Chain A
Amino acid sequence: MIQAAVWFFGAVAAMATLLMIFQRNLVKSALLMLAALLATAALYLALSAQMLAVLQIILYAGAIMILFVVALTVMPCALRDRASRSVFLKVLGLAAAAVILTELLNVSGALKGFLRPVDFSETGTLPLARELFGRFAFQFELLSLVIITAIVAATALALHRRRA
């Protein structure tokens, strides 16, 4: 049952990403991306990562998607998406992606012998919090610097645009 759920939600996420490639309308692309992100959240749930599923919905499907939709509304030229790339470049891009997939599957061939139990279990937030505020406390605090830098950079870019 859980195994079928993993395959199903993986297939939904892959299908949404595939449809995004062929979708020219950016708003519809954003909605397909939302579907892929929600399917990934369900995948986390099937992999017994409940906290990550909630964070995925709040952060990715909520905050980041809102950011994309707001950016699309302030950029009118974003909605005029033309198929400008040449067919040769598109074929080259698809060939490069196929090579990446083949290589990744070749490299991970060593994983064939390993089993990963996917029985539904409760992964509490307490062990996760112990990791974040114990072993990874320094990295977690450094992350606040990254976010502060991002806020300052985005504000500086917005002020620069207003002055220009």
Chain B
Amino acid sequence: MSAYSLASISFVLFTLAAAGFLTSGNLVRMLMFLELMLNAANVALVALGPQPASQAYTVMLFAVAAAEAGIGLALIITLSCAFKTLEPENIKELKG
């Protein structure tokens, strides 16, 4: 299988997730699409990288994704309590 085909699968996944991120108007949904973008990057790494090393990098990226989801959701819950909304257009001030 050509490396270009494998790369194009991950690029399509990344672009669909990026399209969702750019068009959604909800913070939780945006975080979900961000996770899927990172997931697509992981697929590219596994498909195209040198085998044991790229898998080791992907294991590390799994942990980064988990940390990102934890902090992101904690921030979103705090924002939703403060502003009573999850639409980024309605959150206009960041004074603590």
Contact = CB atoms under 8 A, between A and B. Distances in A.
A17 B20 contact: yes
Given A17-B16, A75-B86, A94-B23, A131 B53 contact: yes
Contact of A153 (B20, B25, B74): B74
Interface in B43-84: 43, 46-48, 51-53, 55-60, 62-71, 73-78, 80-82, 84
Contacts of A14: 9, 12-13, 16
Interface residues of A, number: 86
Given A21-B23, A55-B62, A6 B16 contact: no
Interface residues of B, number: 70
Interface string A17-37: 110110000100110010011
A99 B20 CA distance: 14
A133 B53 CA distance: 12
The 7 closest A-B pairs by CB, nearest first: A93-B22, A97-B19, A150-B67, A10-B9, A131-B56, A101-B15, A154-B74
Interface of B: 1-4, 6-9, 11-26, 28-29, 31-33, 35-36, 39, 42-43, 46-48, 51-53, 55-60, 62-71, 73-78, 80-82, 84-87, 89
20 contacts: A14-B9, A14-B13, A14-B16, A29-B32, A49-B46, A60-B62, A72-B28, A77-B85, A81-B29, A83-B25, A96-B18, A101-B12, A105-B8, A108-B4, A111-B3, A135-B53, A147-B63, A157-B75, A157-B78, A161-B81
Interface of A: 3, 6-7, 10, 13-14, 17-18, 20-21, 26, 29-30, 33, 36-37, 40, 43-44, 47, 49, 51-52, 55-56, 59-60, 63-64, 67-68, 71-72, 74-75, 77-78, 81-85, 89-90, 92-94, 96-98, 100-101, 104-105, 108-109, 111-112, 114-118, 123, 127-128, 130-132, 135-136, 139-140, 143, 146-147, 149-151, 153-154, 157-158, 160-161, 164
